[in-house]
Amino acid sequence: QVLDPGATAVAHPNIALIKYWGKRDEQLMIPYVDSLSMTLDVFPTTTTVRLSPEAPADSVTLDGSPAEGEQRRRVVAFLDLVRELAGRTEPAEVDTRNAVPTGAGLASSASGFAALALAGAAAYGLDLDPTALSRLARRGSVSAARSIFGDFAICHAGRGTSEDADLDSYAEPVPVPDFDPALVIALVDAGPKAVSSRAAMRRTVETSPLYRSWATSSAADLTEMRVALRRGDLDAVGEIAERNALGMHATMLAARPAVRYLSPATVAVLDRVGWLRANGVPAYATMDAGPNVKVLCHRTDAARVAEALRDAAPGCSVVTARRGPGARLRTGAER
């Protein structure tokens, strides 16, 4: 008997320059705000989905070990959605590997669910265009909607009722031909975060008095960001991205109880980014739900920035990324 090769997809994480933070519908995974990101060329997730009609249930392997608890539940719920769309019922075997630490604020959920959407749709014979694929990936993780696309992508929050927004919330590419910066990632702590992004954003939306004002200013940031990207203006892009991220962290710090992802090492790196700027090196920081810092700079300054970050947080590892490709299926020969 020939083993069904299934479908294998590769997707890369993305880092938002205008952040997604807060869901208005947790069931349908509908964000409150639009977001805009750069897909990276590092830390891919590789996911294979193979149908196993004889198996009693789905089997999910994450980084070589059986997935358990919430991690398994999210993947099985996602497969249920794919099966519903495809009108199929067979269980599947999922094998997924992240090149990045899982759940450390390095967007493993983005690359993870983008790869699962593409491999899952292919394995169950769903023929989806990129918009439909992005909409599907969003149901796994909102940020995954953006990792379907390479380079820069905007994810629309969608308007109207949840049902309307479910159709209108997806990502699409933002063409920026003349902007190819470096993103230097300082991994100050690669361990799993104490509070998941999901729990943290829920608490922020429910209790932070700063959340609404950040959401309003984020919409204005997005408009300015699009202009800055079109101009290929690193300083403007960086300034807007940095204030948008710091504002998002301010909403969390004002939540009750506070959610604080920034560690002493994060602050040391932020100080060093300010020092670089004061010394004539354009460098701008952004942070997600975790202590790691991503620094946007010119490619020609990347080595210098990397060295400065290493020096600011001894023991941290530093990885330099650039804009990367969208999610893609592996062909037979590559498997």
CB of 277 to ligand ATP, least distance (A): 25
Buried b (16+ CB within 10 A) or exposed e, 16-45: bbbbbbbbbbeeebbbbbbbbbbbbebbbb
Q: Which of 46, 40, 31, 236 is nearest to 153 (CA)?
A: 40
Among 8, 35, 108, 218, binds ligand ATP (CB under 6 A): 108
Q: Are strands 92-98 and 283-287 parallel, antiparallel or unpaired?
A: unpaired
The residue within the footprint of ligand ATP, chosen from 8, 45, 147, 208 (CB under 6 A), is: 45
Distances 231 to 39, 70, 116, 245, 320 between C-alpha atoms, Å: 19, 43, 35, 21, 23
Pairing of strands 92-98, 59-62: parallel
Show the site string, 286-305: x = touches ligand ATP by CB under 6 A, - = not: --xx----------------
Cα separation, 162 vs 76, in Å, equals 23
**Closest to ligand ATP by CB, 215 or 308:** 215
> Per CB under 6 A, does 104 bind ligand ATP?
yes
Q: Which is nearer to ligand ATP, 116 or 153 (CB)?
A: 116
Does 251 sit near ligand ATP (CB under 6 A)?
A: no
Asked if 31 is part of the footprint of ligand ATP (rule: CB under 6 A), the reply reads no
**61 contacts ligand ATP (rule: CB under 6 A):** no
Interface mask toward ligand ATP for 187-216; x: CB under 6 A: ---------xx-------------------
Which lies closer to ligand ATP via its Cβ, residue 98 or residue 251? 98
**For tokens 């948008």, what's the residue?**
244
Is residue 312 near ligand ATP by the rule CB under 6 A?
A: no
- The answer to whether the CB of 299 falls within 8 A of the CB of 182 is yes
**By the criterion CB under 6 A, which residues form the site for ligand ATP?**
45, 62, 70-71, 74-75, 96, 98, 102-110, 112, 116, 143, 196-197, 288-289
